[in-house]
Amino acid sequence: MQEFNEFVKDIETYIMFQIKQRAAELTDELKAKDRAPIALAMGAPVAKPPEFVYKQIIESLNEPQIHTYSSPKGESWFLEAVAQRMKNRFGVELNPKTEVFSLIGSKEGLANFIRALINPTTNENEKEIILVPDPGYASYTQMIKTNGGLSYGIELNKENNYMPNMYKVWEKIKKDGYNLSKIKAMIINYPSNPIGATCTREYLKHIVDFCKEKQIWLISDAAYCDIYFNEKDKPHSVLEIDGAKDVAVEFYSFSKPYSMTGFRLGWICGNAEAVSTFGRLKSTIDTGIFKVIQKAGAQVLNSKDGDEYIKNSNKDFKTKQMIIINGLRKLGWEINDNDIPNATFYIWQPIPPRYKTSKEFTDDLLEKSGIVVVPGSAFGKNGEGYFRLSAVATDEQLNEVIERMKLDGFSYQ
Ligand SMILES: Cc1ncc(COP(=O)(O)O)c(C=O)c1O
């Protein structure tokens, strides 16, 4: 039989689904020893989305022609609501007709944007390069690989305060022997998955200046920009920076702030040429999002209910974060107050030194205690030695996680 293409034929199932599958296989065995799996691998909040969203869905279901094809771009009222949200939240002005496009979740958008950017080749020396954060969202590297490109990991660490100087990185890429003219774009993700790191406005300016100087696209993944714990220091949009629209697009999601993971809704905004090219590609791939979902999304974005929901769920995420942080501290992890993330629901901590690899630790945690987390190695070369726990379950479950770790011998030393 003919083979699938070089970039896809050997691809593995996305790591989170592999982990989910493994937990499902072990469920009976774990239940038998009172260790039913507690899912802390995926970044999927368990809380119910805002009641307001359900009300809007039920109401709009009866509207005439709501059941018909949407446009891949998104309905005009959805795009206008997005532009309004960007203005309200960040003070960013956008033309909803040319600078915004709807997404079937930001994962879909990122994958198709990367597809639009890369000229695929099987020749390793000719491959076009996209710079990605390392550790970073595991999908970036897979999206780049399956589209025939190469990813280059930018090391994020405590020493560079998770905000590396890009001119130094550029020198390093050169020293590593890569052809700089092949670099097409860089991806940033603040607040970050898996670290929970945030960045300053000054750093965003540094990134914009750098991308402008090098004439490469800037892809800002803002999926977590509304999961924050300090009202006075909210995450910024890169589009707040003067001139950012010359080089940048930004991706947003309804999944995390409104717990709407299953609804599959997001948007891309920014540079009009990039949005238009991406949009023309998407018009050949999908036919938009069910208008009922868009309606609920459009209405929650600028509503009091939506803002209240974000405020309350951030309070809940903080409580959950501290259950795990304080629990790990009691188990011997040394966690300084300064190192507790100010955003996201991720806990990123070193594995106990007695384990050789992060996978060895997370497998042990799953098999002995039914605690489902992700090995740091899944997030890039620099993730080895760490594990990521999504503090998204109920408080009871999170307390149970710490209790099981204590009973089953999972102390740091
Ligand atoms: C950094 C980052 N970007 C994008 C996504 C995709 O989210 P969605 O497709 O649900 O919008 C995720 C999901 O976990 C993520 O962690």
Whether residue 227 sits in one domain with residue 366: no
Is ligand 1 within 6 A of the CB of residue 99?
no
Is ligand 1 within 6 A of the CB of residue 140?
no
Question: How far apart are the CA of 409 and the centre of ligand 1, in A?
Answer: 33
Q: Which atom of ligand 1 lies at the shortest distance from residue 104's CA? A: 9
Is ligand 1 within 6 A of the CB of residue 390?
no
Whether residue 331 sits in one domain with residue 298: no
Q: Residue 155 is inside which H or E element, if any? A: strand 150-155
Q: Is the peptide bond before 194 cis (omega within 30 degrees of 0)?
A: yes
Q: Is 282 helix (H, G, I), strand (E, B) or coil?
A: helix
pLDDT in tens, the chain (413 residues): 999 999 999 999 999 999 999 999 999 999 999 999 999 999 999 899 999 999 999 999 999 999 999 999 999 999 999 999 999 999 999 999 999 999 999 999 999 999 999 999 999 999 999 999 999 999 999 999 999 999 999 999 999 999 999 999 999 999 999 999 999 999 999 999 999 999 999 999 999 999 999 999 999 999 999 999 999 999 999 999 999 999 999 999 999 999 999 999 999 999 999 999 999 999 999 999 999 999 999 999 999 999 999 999 999 999 999 999 999 999 999 999 999 999 999 999 999 999 999 999 999 999 999 999 999 999 999 999 999 999 999 999 999 999 999 999 999 99
pLDDT at residue 389, rounded to an integer: 98
Q: Please give the Cα distance from 162 to 10 (Å, whole number).
A: 32
Structure letter (DSSP) for residue 341: -
Is ligand 1 within 6 A of the CB of residue 250?
no
Whether residue 345 sits in one domain with residue 243: no
pLDDT at residue 93, rounded to an integer: 98
Question: What one-letter code names the amino acid at 151?
Answer: S
Q: Please give the Cα distance from 329 to 236 (Å, whole number).
A: 31
Is ligand 1 within 6 A of the CB of residue 261?
yes
pLDDT at residue 210, rounded to an integer: 98
Q: Please give the Cα distance from 203 to 225 (Å, whole number).
A: 15
Is ligand 1 within 6 A of the CB of residue 193?
yes
Q: Please give the Cα distance from 134 to 195 (Å, whole number).
A: 10
Cross-strand partners of 134: 155
Q: Please give the Cα distance from 210 to 152 (Å, whole number).
A: 16
Q: Which atom of ligand 1 lies at the shortest distance from residue 192's CA? A: 1
Q: Which residues, other chains included, contact 160 with Cβ-Cβ below 8 Å and sequence gap of 6+?
A: none
Cβ proximity of 235 and 252 under 8 Å? no
Question: How far apart are the CA of 107 and the centre of ligand 1, in A?
Answer: 5
Q: Which residues, other chains included, contact 137 with Cβ-Cβ below 8 Å and sequence gap of 6+?
A: 189, 193, 194, 221, 379
114, 137, 379: residue to mutate for ligand 1 pocket, most atoms within 8 A of CB? 137
pLDDT at residue 261, rounded to an integer: 96
Position of tokens 């004439």?
215
Is ligand 1 within 6 A of the CB of residue 133?
no
Whether residue 199 sits in one domain with residue 327: no
pLDDT at residue 240, rounded to an integer: 98
Residue 340 lies in a domain: yes
Question: What's the order of all strands across the beta sheet hosting 346-350?
Answer: 346-350, 386-390, 374-375
Is ligand 1 within 6 A of the CB of residue 107?
yes
Is ligand 1 within 6 A of the CB of residue 189?
yes
Q: First CA to last CA across the chain, in angstroms?
A: 53
From 246, 274, 303, the end of a domain falls on 303
Residue 413 lies in a domain: no
Whether residue 225 sits in one domain with residue 250: yes
pLDDT at residue 156, rounded to an integer: 98
Whether residue 151 sits in one domain with residue 56: yes
Is ligand 1 within 6 A of the CB of residue 392?
no
Whether residue 169 sits in one domain with residue 314: no
Whether residue 143 sits in one domain with residue 57: yes
Whether residue 190 sits in one domain with residue 119: yes
Whether residue 28 sits in one domain with residue 74: no
Residue 1 lies in a domain: no
Q: What residue's CA is closest to ligand 1, atom 6?
A: 107
Query: What is the residue range of 61's domain?
Result: 52-303
Structure tokens at 141: 């590297």
Q: Which atom of ligand 1 lies at the shortest distance from residue 103's CA? A: 11
From residue 296, alpha-carbon distances to 53, 54, 164, 254, 339 in Å are: 5, 8, 39, 11, 37
Residue 43 lies in a domain: yes
Q: Please give the Cα distance from 55 to 48 (Å, whole number).
A: 13
From 269, 303, 337, the end of a domain falls on 303
Is ligand 1 within 6 A of the CB of residue 294?
no
Cβ proximity of 292 and 65 under 8 Å? no
Is ligand 1 within 6 A of the CB of residue 56?
no
Residue 268 lies in a domain: yes
Whether residue 365 sits in one domain with residue 336: yes
Q: Which atom of ligand 1 lies at the shortest distance from residue 137's CA? A: 1
Question: What one-letter code names the amino acid at 334?
Answer: E
Q: Please give the Cα distance from 85 to 299 (Å, whole number).
A: 10
pLDDT at residue 64, rounded to an integer: 94
In the chain, the number of structural domains is: 2
Q: What residue's CA is closest to ligand 1, atom 5?
A: 107
Q: Which atom of ligand 1 lies at the shortest distance from residue 107's CA? A: 9
Q: Which atom of ligand 1 lies at the shortest distance from residue 106's CA? A: 11
Is ligand 1 within 6 A of the CB of residue 137?
yes
Name the pairing type of β-strands 346-350 and 266-270. Answer: unpaired
From 268, 303, 338, the end of a domain falls on 303
Q: Which atom of ligand 1 lies at the shortest distance from residue 42's CA? A: 14
Q: Please give the Cα distance from 182 to 163 (Å, whole number).
A: 23
Q: What is the CATH number of the domain that holds 42?
A: 3.90.1150.10
Residue 183 lies in a domain: yes
Q: What is the CATH number of the domain that holds 140?
A: 3.40.640.10
Whether residue 68 sits in one domain with residue 177: yes
Q: What residue's CA is closest to ligand 1, atom 14?
A: 43
Residue 8 lies in a domain: no
Residue 122 lies in a domain: yes
Backbone angles phi, psi at 313, to 5 degrees: -70, -30
Question: How far apart are the CA of 252 and the centre of ligand 1, in A?
Answer: 9
Q: Please give the Cα distance from 5 to 11 (Å, whole number).
A: 10
